[in-house]
Structure 1
Amino acid sequence: MKLYISTGNSRMEKRWNGAEMELEEFIGRISHTIRTAETVEQYGKMTKAKQDAIKDVGGFVMGKLKGGRRKKDCVEFRSALTLDMDHAVQDIPEQVEMFFDFRCLIYSTHKHTAENPRLRLIIPLSRN
């Protein structure tokens, strides 16, 4: 399964690069966590601006961006749904598998802790 993915090295980057990518290649890329130096406690005490700067290590948009611009009015189409789960329960992956007949990806975000799970759910679409 191929997905169209736009990537950037920073959220501030003016032009994001878009290309088709096999789902398995995308899974490989998001499977490698980028760890930052601060502790969870230190990170929690930082301002939102400082947190945003620390976690700005590049990113992706699951779809094509008009002119490579990462703005909501520049999304031509999406190749996957991306949902943030800010208060996820521990067994959410099992619940998703039990109730829905589709492939999905789940990974933790920068603020994720065992006490306050923060996950991201990606559901690839069968068409753009």
Structure 2
Amino acid sequence: MWADDAALDAAGRRLDEWESSLAERARRAQTLAGTIQGLTGTARSPDRTVEVTVDSAGLLIDLRLDERVRDHPAVSTARQILATAQAARADLLTQLTAVTTAALGDDASAVIDSYRSRLTADDWRDDARR
């Protein structure tokens, strides 16, 4: 099957390099997953009465309301909370894009696109209407 020992040695080296490359990619992916899990996104409303923080999945983990929200109708405050939550998800996506691109380089686009579709989906607005 092999013409000579040199060809066999070359094939063995290619397999070793491929295995090493896969192991390195797996290590980077595991490190990236841990980094992403620790990310949060935060945003404030333009008038600084609402501050929202979301976790790495885009779920609300902190909501801070300034006392001045009492001066506004509840419907206005609710809209402001939703808009600020979306801005917090945008902040999260920006951070996620940076760390994913740094870790995966050219291979980052699929991961980023997956998060982008989840974090910018209209489902968040649908949930808020329920």
Q: How does the TM-score come out when normalised to structure 1? A: 0.28
Which structure carries more relative contact order (alpha carbon 8 Å, separation 6+)? 1
More strand per residue: 1 or 2?
1
Q: How does the TM-score come out when normalised to structure 2? A: 0.28
The structure whose Rg is larger is 2
